[in-house]
Amino acid sequence: MEKDISKTLSTAANALGITLGAKEVSQFTTYYNELLKWNEKINLVSVKSELDIPMKHFIDSLTLLPFIKNKKGRFLDIGSGAGFPGVPLKIVLNSLKVSLLESSRKKSSFLKHIIRSLKLTDIFVITSRAEGLMENKSYRGCFDTVTSRATFKLPEYLQMGAFFLSESGILIAMKGKKADEEVTEAAGMSQTLGLKYILSQEITLPFTGDFRRIIIYEKSSL
């Protein structure tokens, strides 16, 4: 099974223009095994096929890699859950300083466990809701990149993300096919928040053919 996962990950990453070294493949394999083990105790991810974790979680997270402007900057993953997209991105881009924001204590426990298991540094778990963290003014404008795979509607997500985003920082929204309506709904709000709409990129995941849309905003002065 581990050989199959390793080959699947390497092949899929190559299709995205990403080369995984032996260390990265080993870390992803450990991540996969620990995720399955913990998933028996707490509900971390839905697993309906062998491709779900490597493709819909690991590789899906890595689709953000080309869009991260500051590769050594501070990165906030809102509603990280089992660590997506923050942990896979940290595995491949070690220079990134990652904060995983997760309100569930059980999921936060898993995140701390996987960080130790993978021997990752400069990656932190913040156990809080985004709304609660926004009450701490020291986090305002603190991050160069903000993203989320949580199910926030775009207008709500922009309000959260804009608070945490530094000047010229980028906010990345990970969406599915029906994103156009949300983009239209968020247009006026984005301008008010000082967020400039940059691009919308469509991506099809290897092997599964799942469709993703990545939407980028940049923080500018009001």
- Map out the domains of the chain with their CATH numbers: 63-219 (3.40.50.150)
Q: Per-residue pLDDT for the chain (222 aa), expressed as one digit of tens each? A: 455 888 999 999 999 999 999 999 999 999 999 999 999 999 999 888 888 899 999 999 999 999 999 999 999 999 999 999 999 999 999 999 999 999 999 999 999 999 999 999 999 999 999 999 999 999 999 999 999 997 789 999 999 999 999 999 999 999 987 788 888 888 888 989 999 999 999 999 999 899 999 999 999 865
Angstrom distance (rounded) from CA 46 to CA 152: 19
Please give the order of strands across the beta sheet that includes 143-148: 123-127, 97-102, 74-78, 143-148, 165-175, 211-219, 195-204
Q: pTM score > 0.85 for this model?
A: yes
Query: Residue 39 has what pLDDT?
Result: 94
